[in-house]
A = this chain, B = another copy of it.
Amino acid sequence: MTPMPSGVRIEATLEQLASVNFNADGLVAAVAQDVTTGEVLMVAWMNAETLRMTLGEGRMVYWSRSRQELWRKGDTSGDFQFVREAYYDCDGDTLLFLVDQQGSGACHTGAFSCFSRRFGGDSGPSDAPTAGS
C-alpha cells in the first residue's frame, strides 16, 4: 500500500524567521517550484501566520489578497502542495518552496503550472517551461 503523501515539517530558527521582510501589507511573495520537474508552478503571497502554518504543517498555505483570507492550497481542489524544502532570498522579501504538487496541478485553469502562457510564438498548454528538463 502506498503511504499517504505528506510534507516535511520545517523548524525554522528565530534568526531565520527574523530575516523575512514582510511588506507594508504584512505580506511576502512565495514561489512554489515542483521538486521533481523543477517547473515554477505559481507565485502567491503569505503573511506571518500562513508562513508559520506552511512550515509547521508541511503544506502550502497562502494569503489571498483578493479574498483577504487564508487559503490552504488544495482544500477545495484536492491539489495540495506538500513542502519538501524552503528558502528565503538575500533581502528576505521572497520565499522559495520546493513542493510535491498533488492532483492535476497548481493552476485553477487545470494547467500544471500557472505559467503556461508564453510570450511570442504559440502559447498553448503544451508550451510549458522547459528549464532543466
A85 and B94 alpha carbons, distance in the complex (Å): 22
- Interface mask (A61-102 → B, CB under 8 Å = 1, otherwise 0): 000000000000000000000000111111100101010000
Q: Are A115 and B132 in contact (CB under 8 A)?
A: no
Say what secondary structure dominates the interface of chain A.
Answer: loop
Q: How many copies does the complex hold?
A: 2
CA distance A37 to B33 in the complex (A): 13
| A131 touches B (CB below 8 Å) | yes
- Asked if A48 lies at the interface with its beta carbon under 8 angstroms from chain B, I say no
* A119–B10 CB distance below 8 A: yes
Q: Is the CB of B87 within 8 A of A131?
A: no
The complex places the Cα of A32 from the Cα of B133 at a distance, in Å, of 16
